[in-house]
Chains A and B, each alone.
Chain A
Amino acid sequence: QQQVKQSPQSLIVQKGGISIINCAYENTAFDYFPWYQQFPGKGPALLIAIRPDVSEKKEGRFTISFNKSAKQFSLHIMDSQPGDSATYFCAASYNNDMRFGAGTRLTVKP
């Protein structure tokens, strides 16, 4: 059972553009929503995270938008750079249960 659905599967953006990745979850018990960035052959690294009591969180070029009623959240990468090319995973967590989305492979073209 896929508890976190992520789209798109892959994304190509021009340098300087905005990258948008969307996720939807089913379990309303989830109370922590992180985004991870993973480069090939490396472990995931926490990028930014949000809790359901806020609708938006911004850290530098990265912004999470959260819609609790729709059970959806998204990652926006502003001014995308070639160095942002990686696979991004959203996740949803409650206590020790963390479920990952399928991942989005982002390519930022120079």
Chain B
Amino acid sequence: RKEVEQDPGPFNVPEGATVAFNCTYSNSASQSFFWYRQDCRKEPKLLMSVYSSGNEDGRFTAQLNRASQYISLLIRDSKLSDSATYLCVVPRTGGGNKLTFGTGTQLKVEL
């Protein structure tokens, strides 16, 4: 199993839809998880941090399922501006500042 795995998509959804995508991770000792957003050819930007069972910020909800080793990102009432690639990020255990980035899930919100 890859350290971090994401469905690459693209997920094409109409404006206003609810969309969810998952990220699976292999290291059962991982304690924290992050979702970053990356617009085409731009730098990644932190979207949400997940330190316990989940986190919610406006239209965005991240949930953690430790038993099955995945985190999900739910976007409600999708906007055109949500179109981007969403990167799942899992820190490596053992100290330092090593992160494993998923290859990302592409979301396209359409009129």
- The answer to whether A and B assemble together is no
